[in-house]
Structure 1
Amino acid sequence: MEVVIRPDAYAAGRTAAGIVQQALADGVTTLGLATGSSLLQVYRDLARRHRHEGLSFSGVDAFLLDEYVGLPALDPQALAQEIRRELTDHVDLDPARLHLPSGTAPDPAAEARRIEQRLTEAGPVGLQLLDIGVNGHIGFNEPGSSLASRTRLKTLTDDTRREHARFFGGIADVPRHVITQGLATIGQASHLVLIATGPHKAGAVTAAVEGPVTAACPASVLQLHPHVTVVVDELAASRLAQKAYYRCIARHKPVGQRY
């Protein structure tokens, strides 16, 4: 696992955007997209690179990691709307190639199976962007999720609903269920890039990077993947025991390349 520590959220976002740009230049045609506060600067910088540096998404298929159950795609709080607001409305990604779970499918379990099948048909995602929750979830794979889980219907914990309540009118308005790619589904991507910023992410980052691999911290499964880049700001890295080692390694290799 490659850990890259940057001074602040702005620098972390630029670093992660650079990894995406290099992946596209290297021929990656399938991206996995996620939502979350740590990813906002990444998407803003990708949009800037599209406007000013010619970065193109025209040949890319993109898969959104998850969606709330019960929210129409045009609801302002739907994750489909968030990814459009933050990224896809600002770049040249073909809307027909943005693949979204439907939060209003009459059978959410069947919708999850459809997404899993579509991912299988598309082949491995070339690069998957990830955020991490304060309880260690990636996607909406809450603590206790099977490390072998596939795309499925999942119930949100109260901790996660409280974390997301700021985007709604309060916790009572946060949906209780989501469709999310599973940990094994996420792990099929060729390159996983996790971005975490802010002091509230420090505990989860430490557990994911330096703790044991355990379902109690779903993001710890990233330790088993052959190509993972974790980009954090100083605040999110504040509890890492091996910071000096990560900085030493970063000085001697290009960011994002496989070890």
Structure 2
Amino acid sequence: MKIYVCENYDRMSEVAANYVAAQITLKPNSILGLATGSTPEGLYRQLVEKYNKKEIDFNDIISFNLDEYLDLPKEDVNSYYTFMHENLFNHVNIKEENINIPEGNVDDIESYAMKYDNKIDSSGGIDLQVLGIGNNAHIGFNEPSDTFSRYTEVVNLTPETIEANARFFDNEDDVPKKAISMGIGTIMKSKKIVLIASGEEKAQAVNDMINGRIDPKVPASILQLHEDVLVVLDEAAAKKIDKKLYKKI
């Protein structure tokens, strides 16, 4: 696990975007795993800027998103379908047929989840997976549990996650209580992973991920076992980890 610490959020976003852009340049038909939430917004802004400067091209890129709320129409302002289109897809030349975002409104969700994993595998697997981390160290919507999830599945969101996401909704009661999420096993099959975290409220989760024992109650701790993980933090998120463990850039 390689760890970079940046002065602030904007620099963190720039460093992570450069890493993703390098992947696109080296392999123009890359399979990208993408994340949502407030943390990657800056990364996506940077990628759009690079696209507008003709530094990168999304024409042959295929994307798979981590998760989506259950029973929330994809046209809803708070859906991750809307988030991805407003923050990235509407501003670059990615083909609509190459965009894959889990559906939260299907009749047989278990069968659909299996097909989502199969589609990732049949596409050749994710070359680079972008991750954030929750205050409780969840990745995707894989919440603390007694076991690590293997496959894409329906998950129950914890009160902590619901509270954290309430800022995007009119009130906490409007936050969906369930989501469909790539499983830990699916994430771990990615060839490369870049995890970004910003803010002091993420500092404990980041420390537990890096220095704690591997424990499904700290979902991100499983990343210690992946052979190619880059963690990009701002100074606030790195507050609790030893300076010897990271490079300041």
TM beyond 0.5: yes
Structure 1 segments of 4 or more deviating over 6 A?
none
Output aligned runs, 1:201-240, within 5 Å: 201-240=202-241
Taking only the aligned residue pairs, the percentage that are identical comes to 34
Residues 245 and 133 (structure 1), Cα distance of their counterparts in 2 relative to 1, 3 Å cut: closer
Q: Please state whether the residue corresponding to 1:139 is helix, strand or coil.
A: coil
- Contact 1:146/1:183 (8 A) holds in 2: no
Output aligned runs, 1:116-195, within 5 Å: 116-144=117-145, 146-195=147-196
Q: Please state whether the residue corresponding to 1:150 is helix, strand or coil.
A: coil
Q: What's the TM-score once normalised by structure 1's chain length?
A: 0.93
The offset of 1:134, in angstroms, is 0.2
Partners of 1:63 and 1:2 lie apart in 2 by 24
The offset of 1:147, in angstroms, is 2.4
The offset of 1:161, in angstroms, is 0.4
The offset of 1:129, in angstroms, is 0.2
- Contact 1:145/1:218 (8 A) holds in 2: no
Partners of 1:121 and 1:180 lie apart in 2 by 18
- Contact 2:3/2:245 (8 A) holds in 1: no
Give the aligned residue type for 1:11: R
Give the aligned residue type for 2:43: V
2:10 maps to 10
2:39 maps to 38
Partners of 2:83 and 2:73 lie apart in 1 by 12
Q: Please state whether the residue corresponding to 2:40 is helix, strand or coil.
A: helix
RMSD over aligned Cα, in angstroms? 1.3
Gaps of at least 5 residues in structure 2 are: none
2:23 maps to 23
Question: Structure 1, residues 128-156: CA drift from partner, whole Å, max 9, x if none?
Answer: 00010000000000001632521111111
2:51 maps to 50
Partners of 1:2 and 1:52 lie apart in 2 by 29
Q: What's the TM-score once normalised by structure 2's chain length?
A: 0.96
Gaps of at least 5 residues in structure 1 are: 252-259
Give the aligned residue type for 2:102: P
Give the aligned residue type for 2:122: E
Partners of 1:146 and 1:123 lie apart in 2 by 27
The offset of 1:245, in angstroms, is 3.5
